[in-house]
Amino acid sequence: MARSLVLGNGNVLVCYDEWGQVRDFHFPQVGLENHVGDQLMHRIGVFTGDKTHWFSNGGFRVSTNYEQDTLVASVVATNEKIGVELRFSDIVYNEHNIFVRHIEVMNLFEEDRNIKVFFNQQFHISESHRGDTAYYSPELHAIIHYKGRRVFLASARTNDAYFDDYSVGLLGIEGKEGTWRDADDGMLQKSAVEHGSVDSVLGISLFMRGKGTRTVSYWLAAGESYSKVEKMHRDILTRGPEHLRRTTRDFWRAWVNRIDIDTCGIEQEYINLYRRSLFVMRTHTDNKGAIIASGDSSILQWGRDTYNYSWPRDGAYIMLAFLRAGHVSASKEFHHFYNEVLTEDGYLLHKYRSDKSLGSSWHPWVRDGRAQPPIQEDESAITLVTLGAHYEHTRDLEFIEGLYNSYIRRVADFLTRYRDKKTGLPLPSHDLWEEQFATFTYTTCTVHAGLKTAAGFAEMLGKHVAAKRWNNAAREIEEGILTHLIDTDGTALKSIRHEHGTMVKDRTIDVSSFYGLFKYNILSVDDPRLFKIYEQTNKALSAGGGIARYEGDNYFRTAQGVPGNPWILTTLWLAEYEIAKAKRPKDLEPVKERLQWVLSKCNEAGMLAEQYDAVGGFPTSVMPLTWSHATYVITLLEYIEKLTELGICKTPGKE
C-alpha cells in the first residue's frame, strides 16, 4: 500500500496510509528507526451507539491532502451512514518531536447524540516486537509506550476535558489481535499496563448537538527519556496545540516561498507539485545529513527490506534538486555525512543508514575468487558533481578546501586508478539499477564528470599536479566511451565486460546510457549521434505513457509486451534532453506532454511513486520516492529557464 502523504521535521518522519492513519513513524532520525511500519497502523474509529466504525474497514470515505503551500496535512473522513465527518489538520511540530492532530468532529444528523472517537497506538519500538511496555499515567493523563531510550506519549483532549477512556494490551501475540478490538463495543477495560508486543487505545466522549461540531486535539510526543516527553507534554498544555499548529504552518509556508520563481504563466498545478516535491524532499532529509529514498515501509510486503536508506546516488540527485531550487541549507550536512563514511580506499559503499552505519546489501565482496569492492562506482563519482553544484550556488571556497584532502582527493584518486589499462574505462562495478556487474555507459559518464569536477577544484586550490592527473584520466575515459561504449552503428551500449580475453557488448537499450551521455556532456546536445540514441531510447522504452528503465525490466512488471513499467525519473530524463535541445516554443510540446503525464500520476496530495504499472497505471513499489520528486523539481526549473531563454518570461528568482 502506497503512502498517501508525509509529514516531518528532520528528526521525525510520519507516513499516512490511504485512510489517513499513521503507518510509519520514524524517530529519532529520518529512516531510523521506524516504530510502526510493516503491518502495524494507528487506527482511528468512531462509536455511534451500535459499534465502533474504523476508518479502514468501517464505511468511511477518506481524502488526504495538504493545506496550500505548507506542510500541514488535511484529512477528511466521512461516513454518511452513521452521520459523522471528521476533518483533520495535522502537523509534525518543526521545533520539537511532536505529532499533532487537530480534529473537527461533525454530527451530520439533525438530532443531538453522543459519540466517541478512539485513537489506537500500535508500536514495535525500535523495529522489534519484544520488550515494549505501555501504561496509563494518571498524573499526566496520557498513555506512555517505551523501550530503552525510545519513549512515546499519547494524549487527547477537547477544549475542557481530557480523554475519558483508555486501555492497553497485547498486540498480535498469545491469540490477541490487539487492544483496539476492545473498543468495538464503545467501552474500554481500562487495563493500565502491559508488556511484550503491545498496543493502546484512548477514547474521548463527545456530546454532539444536531448538525453540531466539536473540536478534539490529539498529540504524540517522541523522546529519548520520560522526562523529555513529559516536558513536551506540559509545554503543549501550557501553549496549546493550536499554537504548535499555527507556528508550524507559518514556518513551512515561509520556507517553501522564500525562493521566488517566475512561473512563466504555466498552470498552477505544476507549481503546486513543485512545492509539494520540495516538501517531500525535505521530510526525507535527516537533520544530520542523510537523505533517504522513501519512508514508505509497505514494500516489506513484497521485499526483504525497505527503502529507508540513504543511497549516495539518490541523495546526490535530491541535493542537486535542492541546490537548483536555491535551498542550500542541507548541503553541508549532506556532504559531511559522506565524508565521514568514505572508505580508506576512497569509495562509497552501496547504501547507509541515517546514523552513518552501513546499510543492508546484496553486492558481494568477492568475485571469481578475488576481492572486489562491493560498489556502484557512480555513487562515489556523482557526489563530486554535487559538490561542484554546491560551490556554484554558494561560492563557499572554505567549505570545499576543508573537504579537499579528506574527500575530493581520495575519491578522485580512486576513480583514476580503478580503471582498465587497455581501454582507459572504469573497471566493472554494479550498475545504478543494482542488478548487473560490468562497465556501464552511465557509470562511466559519471566517473568522467566526477574527475572533471575534482580537477576544477584542484586548479582552483593550486593543486596543479593533481588537476593534471585527473584531467588526463577524464580525457582517457572520454576517449574510451567514444571508442568502446558507442557502437559502430551509433547505438549506446548498456555495458561491456571481458570474458576470457574477449570484450562482450550488452546492446540492451537502457535510458541511463542515453542520460549519462547527455547529462554529463560526453556528447553535446546538438550532436546527431545523441539525437539518434534519444530516438532509439524513446521508441524502445515507451510504456504506459512514460519511459521504462531498460528493455526487459522485470522489477514489479506484471504485463507482457512492454519493456517494463514507466518510472517518473526516467520519463523526465528524456524531458530534460528535450528542453535542452529546444530552439522554439513548439519544440517544448513533448516536454509538456511528459509533465502532464507526471501530474496525472500523482495522488490527491501530490505524492509520486517510483514507478507505475504499464497497463493499469497504478503506483507500484514505494510512494513517495524522493528521487521522483527531485527529478520533477529539476525538470520544471529547466523548463521555466528554457521558456525564459526563448523570451517568454523573466529569469527565475534566485536566493
Please identify, among 232, 255, 278, the residue that sits at the C-terminal boundary of a domain.
255
Least confident stretch, 135-144, 173-182, 260-269: 260-269
Could you read off the pLDDT of 381-440 as tens digits, one per residue?
A: 999 999 999 999 999 999 999 999 999 999 999 999 999 999 999 999 999 999 999 999
Q: Are residues 340 and 248 in the same domain?
A: no
DSSP result, 325-341: TT--TTHHHHHHHHHHH
Q: Are residues 398 and 519 in the same domain?
A: yes
Determine the pLDDT at residue 302: 55
Determine the pLDDT at residue 215: 97
Q: Which domain holds residue 101?
A: 42-255
| pLDDT tops 50 at residue 146 | yes
Q: Are residues 397 and 490 in the same domain?
A: yes
Please identify, among 207, 222, 255, the residue that sits at the C-terminal boundary of a domain.
255
Determine the pLDDT at residue 651: 47
Q: Are residues 124 and 224 in the same domain?
A: yes
Q: Are residues 317 and 198 in the same domain?
A: no
Determine the pLDDT at residue 628: 98
Q: Are residues 157 and 204 in the same domain?
A: yes
Q: Are residues 345 and 449 in the same domain?
A: yes
Query: Average of pLDDT values for 318-332?
Result: 96
| pLDDT tops 60 at residue 650 | no
- Looking at residue 211, its amino acid is K
Q: Are residues 169 and 307 in the same domain?
A: no
Is 576 part of any domain? yes
Is 23 part of any domain? no
Mean pLDDT for the chain overall: 95
User: What is the spatial distance between Cα 563 and Cα 507, in angstroms, rounded to a whole number?
Assistant: 14
| Total structural domains within the chain | 2
Please identify, among 216, 240, 255, the residue that sits at the C-terminal boundary of a domain.
255
Query: Average of pLDDT values for 243-271?
Result: 92
Could you read off the pLDDT of 536-582 as tens digits, one per residue?
A: 999 999 999 999 999 999 999 988 999 999 999 999 999 999 999 99
CB atoms within 10 A of CB 56: 15
What's the full length of the chain, in residues? Answer: 655
Is 241 part of any domain? yes
Determine the pLDDT at residue 654: 40
CATH number at residue 159: 2.70.98.10
Q: Are residues 245 and 264 in the same domain?
A: no
User: What is the spatial distance between Cα 437 and Cα 14, in angstroms, rounded to a whole number?
Assistant: 36
Determine the pLDDT at residue 304: 74
Quick one: pLDDT band at residue 653, thresholds 50, 70, 90? very low
Quick one: pLDDT band at residue 168, thresholds 50, 70, 90? very high
Is 6 part of any domain? no
Determine the pLDDT at residue 508: 97
* Long-range contact pairs involving 532-541 (C-beta distance under 8 Å, separation at least 24): 532/490, 533/486, 533/490, 533/491, 533/492, 534/574, 534/577, 536/491, 536/492, 536/509, 537/492, 537/509, 537/511, 537/513, 537/574, 538/574, 540/509, 541/509, 541/511, 541/570
Q: Are residues 234 and 265 in the same domain?
A: no
Is 161 part of any domain? yes
Quick one: pLDDT band at residue 623, thresholds 50, 70, 90? very high
User: What is the spatial distance between Cα 348 and Cα 365, in angstroms, rounded to a whole number?
Assistant: 14
Determine the pLDDT at residue 261: 83
Q: Are residues 236 and 362 in the same domain?
A: no
Q: Hunting for cell 565482496 — which residue is that?
A: 365
User: What is the spatial distance between Cα 260 and Cα 273, in angstroms, rounded to a whole number?
Assistant: 15
Is 73 part of any domain? yes
Could you read off the pLDDT of 471-484 as tens digits, one per residue?
A: 999 999 999 999 99
Q: Are residues 263 and 243 in the same domain?
A: no
Determine the pLDDT at residue 1: 62
CATH number at residue 445: 1.50.10.10
For the chain, how big is the Rg over CA atoms in Å? 26
Over pLDDT 90: what percentage of the chain?
A: 92
Determine the pLDDT at residue 382: 98
Under 8 Å between Cβ of 302 and 557: no
| pLDDT tops 90 at residue 2 | no
- Give the pTM: 0.96
Is 394 part of any domain? yes
Query: Average of pLDDT values for 292-308?
Result: 84
Is 12 part of any domain? no
Query: Average of pLDDT values for 530-536?
Result: 98
